[in-house]
Structure 1
Amino acid sequence: MTTRLWIEIAHQAAYRTGGYAWVRQDGQGLAGAAGGARDLEAEALAALALASAVKDLPPGAAVALHLSEAALIEGVREMGARRNRGWADAGGAPLPGAEAWALAAQALAGRGLSLVRTKPAEARTAAGFAAAWAELARDKAKAQGTFQNAIPRPNLAKVPGLAKD
C-alpha cells in the first residue's frame, strides 16, 4: 500500500516564525501532527515539516507526497542533488534546515516516491485541513516557541475524502 502524506506550512517571514501540519494515511489508518518553531526561514520550516512527517514511516512503503508549498516541493525535487553536495548550496554554504533535510532523505531512501501538487485553500480537503492546522501551529509557535503535538484522532476522522480505517 502507498502511504499518502499531506504536508502544509504557514510561515511569516517578518517574524521568522512558522507552523506546519501533516496528515498521513496508510495501512495503519490516519495520523497527523502539527508543530512550529521560531527564528527560522521558510525552507528550514519545510525541511522540519517533511522530517516530522516521514520519520516513522512503515518499512518499504511507497510514498505519495501531496504538497503546495514551493520551498517544500523544490526541496523534495532537489533532494538527491542537495545530498550529493553535502547539504550545501552551490556556493558551499549550509542549506537552511540541512539536518532535517538529511533525516527526511534517509527516511525516504529506497522508496517509490511521487509528488502531487495541491491547493491548500480548497476547503474540505486533506490539504485544506492540514493548512488550517499549520496556521494554528504558526500562531502557537509565535507565542510559545518550538513544539509538536499530535492532531487528535476525532479531528482526523472528519477529514473529507479519506478512508476511515
Structure 2
Amino acid sequence: METPVPVVLPHTGLTVPHGDLAVTALDALSDLSAYDAVLSLKGHPIGSIVDQGRGGGAHFWPLTPAHLEPVHAFVTAARRGGEPVTDEEVYDDLVREYDMERLTQRANHLQQTVARGFSSGGSIITFVILNRPPGRFTRSAARQLAAETPQVTLWEIWTGEQWAAPFPGLAATL
C-alpha cells in the first residue's frame, strides 16, 4: 500500500496528509460566517462540517462513529508552516478551499481574474473579481486596484493554477 503524500492546499496554504478528504458541497452565508458543508473521503460523504456562526466554531458531525477516526488522523497530521493547527482551523480551511475553488473555476470559465489582498499583518482582507483574464492583468490595472484599496499591502492573482504576485517588484505599491 502506498504512503499518502502530503498536499499543500492552494487557496489556504494548509498542508494536509493527503488529498482524499475534502468538502464536496456547501450551504453557507456569503461571508462564510455560518455554514453546513458535506465532508467526503475519496468522494463518498462521511459527515458534515457545521459552523452555526454564533461563536462556537466549526465542528465535524460524522455519519457513523467509524468516520471519526480518518478525520481525526487527518486533522492531527495537518500543518501550517510546519506547526499543528486546531480542528476548527482545519475545518474552516477545508470549507474555504472548496469555496475558493468554486470561485476561481467560475472566474476562469468567464475569463476573469480573481485577486486577493493582504494586510500588512499578512491576513487576507479582500477578494476582487476583475473582468479580464489573468494573462491580461496589466501594471495600470494593478495600480488602479492599489489606489482603490490603500489598506491592502500585497495583491496576488489566481493564475489558473496558483496564487502569484503579478508584479513582484511592485508588491507593496502595485
Please give the range of the TM-score, normalised by the shorter of the 2 chains: under 0.3
Q: With CA pairs under 8 Å and 6+ residues apart, which has the higher RCO, 1 or 2?
A: 1
More strand by share: 2
TM superposition score normalised by structure 1: 0.28
> Greater CA radius of gyration, 1 or 2?
2
